[in-house]
Amino acid sequence: MRVYLDNAATTPLDPEVLKEMYKVMESQFGNPSSIHAHGREARTVIEKARRTVAQLLHTSPAEIFFTSGGTEADNMAIRCGITGYGLKHAITSLIEHHAVVHTLEALEKAGQIKLSFVNVDAQGHIDYQHLEELLANNERSFVSIMHANNEIGTLNDIERIGELCEQYNAIYHCDTVQTVGHFPHDLSKLKIHFMVCAAHKLHGPKGVGFLHINHRVKIDPMIYGGAQERNMRGGTENVYGIVGLAKALELAYEHMDEHHQYIQGLKSYMADSLKAQIPGIHFNGDTDPEKSLYTVLNVSFPEMEMADMLLFNLDIAGISASGGSACSSGTNIGSHVLNAIGANPNRPAVRFSFSKYNTKEEIDYVVGKIKEICLVNA
């Protein structure tokens, strides 16, 4: 049996998405910047997709800019937001995705900003009081704090963060790569200046995403070279990818409650099975379903011989997952997220992440194989 439990890294392409993309591949091959009929057809397809995305997120199509994915969108929001507003201070957390942390650290190294890190607790929640102190005690800030952590699944209260940012006139960028398509977002109410999406996290194609830029925000492009995306992102649009993104998001919203309930059931079932069969395991992140991403379960296993071979042994058994323990005395890089929340560096950690395509039979197989591996290496 082969089991895929690494859906936080990427998801399988939905057949309905592929079908929609294939229709466009067959006929709408024109350059959407061309003014002839073939170009106009491609342009129409893009703008229809933009309207679909905007309607689902309760925003204007003029606020949706298609990109090559989440990393580009994060970089554009951070670099252009900070430069465009002449900001000299930024706030983030140590458990953000590297697309955020590394970008901000590069700007600090270049002398463009002073970077502050808001405290996080042992479950990965940010300290809202500390965030307010950082906002109050520094000049106008750029804040980049994610909705859900991609490694441990902990959710932040982005409504509360948005309110604080508005109170202190800060610019708020929210990395929503793990939650777009899994949770509803009403951008007419959220006080967010930038948010991002990567289609391949919700059963869409790789190489495409979008950046939402609130209409009140005025920035220059990061990529120059053409008038595409209303002069905000040079380069010929990925027409097929954009169509796939819109279809994937449409399907995600259509079945969101159903998928949420089903996948949460798989996560809970696996957690209960692991607790029953493997003594001494620990779950990283918040275990409250209301405060955690229902697609992610991060597990620290008991100390064992050849702990660094756990993922390899799972792979040999046909199980795809990801992970990495906290670093131990600088001997390895480890997970920056597990380091930040104080996870035990001597315990191997694995992130299992689920999708609508997983089954309880697969979970039973995975738990059985893990039990075998733990017994052999105890």
- Whether 15-254 and 3-11+255-377 are alike in CATH topology: the answer is no
Per-residue pLDDT, 310? 87
What is the domain partition of the chain in residue ranges? Answer: 3-11+255-377, 15-254
User: Residue 288 carries which side chain, given as an amino acid letter?
Assistant: D
Per-residue pLDDT, 159? 98
| Contact by Cβ (8 Å): 6, 320 | yes
Find, among 335, 358, 183, 345, the residue nearest to 267 by Cα.
358
Res 367 pLDDT > 90: yes
Per-residue pLDDT, 304? 74
Handedness of CA 62, 160, 169, 221 (dihedral sign): negative
Among 174, 197, 327, 374, the one annotated catalytic: 327
| Contact by Cβ (8 Å): 143, 166 | no
Say if domain 15-254 classifies as CATH 3.40.640.10. yes
| Contact by Cβ (8 Å): 240, 25 | yes
Q: Which fold has domain 3-11+255-377?
A: Aspartate Aminotransferase, domain 1 (3.90.1150)
| Contact by Cβ (8 Å): 343, 284 | yes
Res 30 pLDDT > 60: yes
Res 378 pLDDT > 80: no
Average pLDDT of every residue of the chain: 94
The DSSP call for residue 110 is: T
Q: Is 327 tagged catalytic?
A: yes
pLDDT digits (tens, 9 = 90+) for 215-256: 999 999 999 999 999 999 999 999 999 999 999 999 999 999
Give residue 376's pLDDT band: very low, low, confident or very high (50, 70, 90). low
